A = this chain, B = another copy of it.
């Protein structure tokens, strides 16, 4: 019975680990949010799952885990993680020693798109793309109703698509990746540079100093019509628009879903992305592309991780 299903979902972010018990309708019944201990790795995941199990009073249907990095989903193993240390990369095996239920491990951006596809704005669709716009850009794709994972679990890294070979160096090792232009982090960095030329910008009213400007500060200033903030947002949005057109040309999805903290920047950012995308698709004589915000908001990863166990 769908209504009696309850899965545990864990979303291991760079700064926060979110976990929750999710029912068969995608509703979060209980939740837990703790700072991610970058050295705890798999132990941190097990700790979060055990805390939720204590409150559950019974076995869940399954456990799903979304982690940043490359994941061999078939074996439940993290094969590469950019910013967290996994003492034991065999997450699924380790969890199975604690819970006697199926365990699913996947990339966090895959979990997010699976959440939106299971319970969010892309519910039931078979061709879905999702960008999670945070400090970086995560991406997940549903192709013909299945998650795109590739041969080794390292597919779907659209944030590291090179869109300008002369662009800035990315921590991933490449130059000119999409996330260097269109992420929350990119917005913050562009604003830090821009206030050098415009020290009167109201962006500086929201930050302690130029070096500490965040994407949220730029968003505040843009809403108050600060021209420098709006220009930074426009340019980041235009780059995002190029990324969206690239998604359309590669995947032809039914919907592109945008999630992550940076969507809070709103119209100065997203409007520019939409306008750029629409203009470019019109130039190609392609059909308009449906573009939605994540319905599950920043819970897409948590709910999606649970959905991996509910609707594998």
CB–CB B163/A162 < 8 A: yes
A26-34, A39-47, A195-203, A251-259: which lies at the interface: A251-259
Which chain A residues (140-158) contact chain B, with CB distance < 8 Å?
143-144, 146, 148-158
Which parts of A79-121 form the interface with B (CB within 8 Å)?
80
Residues in chain A within 8 A of chain B (CB atoms): 80, 127, 143-144, 146, 148-158, 160-166, 172-174, 239, 242, 245-246, 249-254, 280, 282-287
Whether the Cβ atoms of B246 and A162 lie closer than 8 Å is yes
For A152, what are the chain B residues with a Cβ–Cβ distance below 8 Å? 252, 287
Partner of A158, one of B163, B250, B253: B250
Contacts of A165 in B (CB 8 A): 163-164, 239, 242
Counting every copy of the chain, the complex holds 2
Q: Are the CB atoms of B161 and A164 closer together than 8 Å?
A: no
State A154–B127 Cα separation when bound (angstroms).
12
7 shortest interchain CB distances as A-B pairs: A150-B252, A173-B283, A155-B252, A173-B284, A157-B249, A127-B151, A154-B252
A239 contact set on B, CB distance < 8 A: 165
Cα A268 to Cα B152 with chains together (Å): 31
Contact of B286 with A154 in the complex, beta carbons under 8 Å = yes
| CB closest residue in chain B, given A141 | B250
